[in-house]
Copies of this chain bind each other. A is one copy, B any other.
Amino acid sequence: MHAVIMAGGRGTRFWPRSREKKPKHLLDIVSDRTIIQETVDRIKPLVKPNNILIVTGRKHARELIRQLPEVPLKNIIIEPVGRNTAACIGLAALHIQKKAKDDVMIVLPSDHGIGDPGQYRKVIAAAARAAEKENALVTIGIEPTSPHTGFGYMEGGASAGKVSGKALLRVKSFREKPDLKQAEIFLKSGNFFWNSGMFIWKASTILNEIKHFLPDLYSGLTTINASLGKSSEAKTVSAIYKSLASVSIDYGVMEKAKDVFVIPARFGWSDVGSWDALWEISAKDKNGNAATGGSQAIFEDTGNALVYSPKKLVALIGIKDVIVVETKDALLLCKKGRSQDVKKIVDALEAGHLNHLL
């Protein structure tokens, strides 16, 4: 098996820790390891490092190589520009085919958190078995624990039996991020799952689907494929990528393809999509206060605070529901529940040409 870790994110939502040069997956915001290190650590018992490919942009490659010494240099695949997940996955599939003729590829986001890695691997292994057996497109659907309006949902359809003890369902429909009312209906029904962005299929299967649903992308991939390993490779990839449309694999393939399956799962998944999401998965004291990253904090009449300040003591007095993030050149104070607005700060910095803070 091969794993493909998509490491292209900008990660402005974790400003001031995430910066243009250090998006979320390169940060140690969940544990002592960075999120991509945890992603690699987590899949390593199933996929040896020689078979782990990382797709990333040029400006993050150096840091990524530094963080992942066990992944061979040739497995770091550079995209000259970001063109969304369909192109990223197609490019990775070419590399797998060139290396191994064909193989199951486990496509993973680089920046998610998993509470129960053992269970996670069991589900992935089952999905890989289904993908191999059925020539199917298999996804992992997270059983929702709240009416979350920030995720896409998948509706489970007819049962396709069991694989390695896990239920396999046909996907009846994909749903965009719902409003709260709709999300509550989804949660109640028990038949809707969060789209985790993890996909399991054979390289040949997904390339066939791309050929069918995204012929322009396929044509570009064909040109790239002919250049792989040659001196013209970088130039070709660069020229083709610039011409590609930006399409997600969900929209471009999954919503249209026929043989799409989901394995419903629950293994403490989090998209770690914001400071609020980080508070959710952090260890907290009885007042709901979390001090992460080795932060030293004094909480006086304070509740539901997330503090990241590894370099200096933070004292809080009479504060409720706050996120505090201290870095060497910036300090963020954000009301809990408002961390989606961190992007506004990044926008303001951009508008003010404070590029050293981006």
Contact = CB atoms under 8 A, between A and B. Distances in A.
A331 B326 contact: yes
A158 interface: no
Q: In the complex this chain forms, how many copies of it are found?
A: 2
Contact of A331 (B16, B324, B334): B324
Interface in A291-319: 298, 300-301, 309, 312-319
A329 B326 CA distance: 12
Contact of A317 (B298, B301, B312, B344): B344
A214 interface: no
Contact of A315 (B300, B316, B319, B331): B331
A309 B331 contact: yes
A277 interface: no
Contacts of A322: 319, 333
A46 to B, nearest CB: 40
A346 to B, nearest CB: 9
Nearest to A321: B318
Nearest to A335: B318
A327 B314 CA distance: 10
A169 to B, nearest CB: 40
A319 B336 CA distance: 9
A338 B309 contact: no
A185 to B, nearest CB: 29
A340 to B, nearest CB: 9
A348 interface: yes
A345 interface: yes
Nearest to A329: B312
A328 interface: yes
A63 interface: no
A342 interface: yes
Residue in A300, A318, A330, A339 whose Cβ sees the most chain B Cβ within 10 Å: A318
A300 B333 contact: no
Contacts of A341: 300-301, 317-318
Contact of A333 (B324, B335, B344): B324
A332 interface: yes
A15 B357 CA distance: 28
B313 A329 contact: yes
Nearest to A357: B313
Contacts of A331: 309, 312-315, 324, 326, 331
A300 B334 CA distance: 9
Given A298-B345, A341-B300, A16 B332 contact: no
21 contacts: A16-B315, A298-B348, A300-B344, A300-B345, A301-B338, A301-B341, A313-B354, A313-B357, A315-B331, A315-B333, A315-B342, A317-B333, A317-B334, A317-B335, A317-B342, A317-B344, A318-B334, A318-B337, A318-B341, A324-B333, A326-B331
Given A314-B331, A319-B334, 18 more contacts: A15-B315, A298-B348, A300-B348, A312-B330, A314-B330, A314-B333, A315-B330, A315-B332, A315-B334, A315-B342, A316-B334, A317-B335, A317-B339, A317-B341, A318-B335, A322-B333, A324-B331, A326-B326
